Amino acid sequence: MALVPMRVLLDEAAKGGYGVGAFNVNNMEQIQAIMMAAQKTQSPVIVQASRGARKYSNDAYLRHLMLAAVELNPDIPIVMHLDHGNSVETCRSAIEQGFTSVMMDGSLLEDGKTPSDLEYNVKVTSEVVKMAHDRGVTVEGELGCLGGIEDGHGANLDPRAHLTNPDQAVEFVERTGVDALAVAIGTSHGAYKFTRKPDAEILAMDIIQEIHRRLPKCHLVMHGSSSVPKELIDKINQYGGDIKPTFGVPIEEIQLGIKNGVRKINVDTDNRLAITGAIRQVFVETPAEFDLRKYLDPARSAMAEVVAARMTAFGQAGHAKDVPMVSLDEMAERYRSGSV
């Protein structure tokens, strides 16, 4: 099986009423961890790389690692997605490198930190949609700004200050033709999302419900949706770490989102925490150890465990075989003919 366009996977998820986790990667072990979890749960997969990850690992390494994942897992549909593209050029280069889905985040200017206006966002996103759909590649847009910074991308604003406006969401989706829309509902990137368990006052799930009511066919995306479980933080701190008390997005809120049109859920922090805790444990318990496999292997397993738990909670487990094989060329034809 080859890499598949994300649209196919999200359409199938909408039919089945489930969500699909999108997990960030920077290296081989993270890709392997996701594929271990996908095999275990028989899940379709979205692997995503940010600009920071592409710079860290180099597109050529990433591409070949993804092709290895495809070769070794012929029964699992896999999407390779660009997370937070900051310009048309960044999206173009990702498509040329074999990504089957791109995010154009025009909610911020090209510097990746200054909030833009609707006209700018519509203009750059439409340009990416045209270029990507010509090649069968899926496009995710973003409206409203999340809090926090992810790999240098983000306004680091009060996450309540730029929530997605449902009226604008309708206009944005109609004018751009995006396949999926990332919404700002009060979450932030990174580990420090909330200082208490989020309730309706700080996590605006009602915005998702309203947008889904107005745009029932648009696939919604929740960013910054790690749950930041206390046990992962405790483990890091138990082995000499220093992570302050913090709260993420509870799984039950994500499940409520999935009932209301959320089809893609971005998770990165939880995996970083799991990996860090596992490595710290080896360093503290066996300080003489210097064979990197002795700590990267448990790190990989710890991430696989988190990913498998999310795949099960989001409902994608068991659905690997439902996703039809659609090539980028076939998808491009569907966009041309207007059948999607």
Stretch that binds Zn ion, among 27-35, 59-67, 156-164, 215-223 (CB under 5 A): 215-223
For Zn ion, the closer of residues 112 and 229 by Cβ is 112
CA-nearest of 284, 204, 194 to 241 is: 284
Burial of 166 (0-12, 13-18, 19+ CB in 10 A): buried
Stretch near Zn ion under the rule CB under 5 A, chosen from 25-33, 48-56, 216-224, 253-261: 216-224
Q: Is 199 a catalytic residue?
A: no
Rounded to a whole number of angstroms, the minimum distance from the CB of residue 189 to Zn ion is: 6
223 near Zn ion, rule: CB under 5 A? yes
**What CA–CA distances, in Å, run from 31 to 54, 142, 175?**
14, 25, 35
Question: 54 or 223, CB closer to Zn ion?
Answer: 223
The stretch among 162-170, 219-227, 289-297, 324-332 that binds Zn ion (CB under 5 A) is 219-227
Shortest gap between Cβ of 338 and Zn ion (angstroms)? 30
Q: Cβ of residue 111: shortest distance to Zn ion, in angstroms? A: 16
Q: Which residues contact 208 (CB under 8 A, 6 or more apart)?
A: 183, 185, 220, 222, 257, 260, 261, 262
The catalytic position among 11, 83, 151, 268 is 83
Q: Which residues of 53-64 are buried (b: 16+ CB within 10 A; e: fewer)?
A: bbeebebeebbe
Question: Which range, of 171-179, 190-198, 222-230, 301-309, touches Zn ion by CB under 5 A?
Answer: 222-230
Q: What does the DSSP assignment read for 211-259? A: HHHH-TTSEEEE-S-----HHHHHHHHHTT--PPP-B---HHHHHHHHH
Residue 145 or 326 with smaller CB distance to Zn ion:
145
Phi/psi for 3 (5° steps) reads -65, 140
Residue 94 and residue 109: Cα distance in Å, rounded?
A: 19
Site mask, Zn ion, residues 130-169, x = CB under 5 A? Answer: ----------------------------------------
- Judged by beta carbon, residue 11 or residue 268, the one nearer Zn ion is 268
10 Å Cβ neighbour count for 111?
A: 12
Q: How many CA atoms lie within 13 A of 153 on its CB side?
A: 25
193 binds Zn ion (CB under 5 A): no
CB of 315 to Zn ion, least distance (A): 21
CB of 67 to Zn ion, least distance (A): 25
Are the CB atoms for 193 and 154 separated by under 8 Å?
Answer: no
Closer to Zn ion by CB, 84 or 300: give it. Answer: 84
Annotated catalytic residues are 83
Provide the binding-site residues for Zn ion, judged by CB under 5 A.
Answer: 223
